[in-house]
Structure 1
Amino acid sequence: MTADQPEPGPYAIVAVASSAGGIQGLTTLLGALGPDLPVPVLVVQHLDPRHRTVIADVLGRRTALAVKLAEAGERARPGTVHIAPPDRHLLIGSDGVLSLSDTELVHFVRPSADLLFESAAGAYGHRTIACVLTGTGKDGSLGTEAVKSRGGTVIVQDPDTAEHSGMPTAALGAGPVDFVLPLEEIAAVIRGLVEAKRH
């Protein structure tokens, strides 16, 4: 590392999962993150694979961050939101390169938050932030366990404020989490974490 390169922050990746009610939840979260986020954001939102997805366009109009559907082989970029395409699992390697998979459903869903969270935890360990927003079912709960076991940070939307409380409640039931917050407060916490300087 040369003198003119900034010290890497304490976190390398933010992974977010949502399902039912998630477009509104993601709009609120991403819109409040502001520009110039120093880490990439990876998103699993359960989408109907039978319809052409416009999620990247919809979210891109509501945040200062770049928003795109994830592509296999591309490198996750700071300040960019990479969204899992419909019906494809999204994974990240330790080199920051994204991969897509159409392997079997996990908890009846593809893309799977569990697989995304587990791959991020495996790639980045304690430098991972996993965030579970509104949704039905329990996708994400195993993945949050994986993130915590590697020393990462888990943020869960307060189920009482979620449009659908299934996913947040399942994540809380899976084990300890670091923050349980109303949706409107999550972005400020994420920014505070990723922008903290190493001591």
Structure 2
Amino acid sequence: MTKSSVDIVVIGGSAGSIPVISELIEALPSPFDFAVVIVLHRSKNVISEMEQILAVKRKEIIVKEPDDKEPIQKKCVYLAPQNYHLLIEETHSFCLDYSEPVSYSRPSIDVTFESIAEIYTEKAVAILLSGANGDGSRGMAEMIARGGIGIVQEPSTAEYPIMPQLALDANAGAKSMTPAQISAYIHTLNV
């Protein structure tokens, strides 16, 4: 896949991933011509200010939670809403789902990765970061099987290495990168 053919980048993370997610958002090319979707494990019964936490110094980048049936737009950064699975429909719009947690999580990284892989196939990049469970491994496999790129944070650089290590163990086709390497890669997309 050439970098210019990327339509969507999906980033999954859990414990220890917020600083890296912030770095990756800052590393987006200016301008960027693809959508970014972030799936982050968060407590479900706590008021979240994650959109403000992930806000960046670059004023042209806005992080927002999508509404159900909202069309996916390039040049936007979306954050999976708290306590909902985030799926993608064939119409390239979001679908919020309240079904059972997957890997103890809602939103589930696997659910979103699998949904994006099905719709965007080889035009997608999936990035899996620090975390303390196996969420994301199955979705990463689906992403790679459908021709997308799978990138996993080098476990030795992760605050919680379980999630990235399990993903690498399960996906020979995934690329292991440090946060700096992932940032450099993202910065070159669609340039």
TM-score, normalised with respect to structure 2:
0.92
d(CA) in 2 for partners of 1:188 and 1:147? 21
2:167 corresponds to 1:181: no
Q: 2:41 — aligned with what?
A: 46
1:156 to 148, 152, 155: 152
Aligned-residue identity in percent: 32
The alpha-carbon deviation at position 82 of structure 1 amounts to 0.6
Aligned partner of 1:10: which letter?
S
Q: 1:26 aligns with which of 3, 21, 37?
A: 21
Moved over 3 A (4+): 61-64
Q: What secondary structure does 1:146 align onto?
A: helix
Q: CA deviation at 1:50?
A: 1.2
What is the aligned length? 188
SS at match of 2:139: helix
Matched position secondary structure for 1:41: strand
Give 2:54's aligned residue.
59
1:35 aligns to 2:40 (yes or no): no
CA RMSD of aligned residues (A): 1.6
Instruction: Give the Cα separation in 2 of the matches to 1:13 and 1:71.
Output: 18
Partner SS, residue 35 of structure 1: coil
C-alpha distance in 1 between matches for 2:129 and 2:17: 7
- Counterpart check, 1:98 vs 2:94: yes
Q: Secondary structure at the match of 1:155?
A: strand
Quick check: 2:168–2:174 contact (8 Å CA) kept in 1? no
Distance in 2, matches of 1:24 and 1:149, equals: 29
Instruction: Pick from 76, 81, 93 the counterpart of residue 77 of structure 2.
Output: 81
Query: Which moves more between the two structures, 83-92 or 24-33?
Result: 24-33
Structure 2 counterpart of 1:138, which letter? G
Gaps of 5+ in 1: 1-7
Cα gap change, 1:126 to 1:34, in 2 (>3 Å): closer
Whether contact under 8 Å (1:17, 1:131) holds in the other structure is yes
Displacement after TM superposition at 1:143 (Å): 0.1
Does 1:128 find its partner at 2:124? yes
Cα separation, 2, equivalents of 1:95 and 1:35: 27
Tell me the TM-score normalised to structure 1 length: 0.89
CA distance in 2, matches of 1:27, 1:142: 25
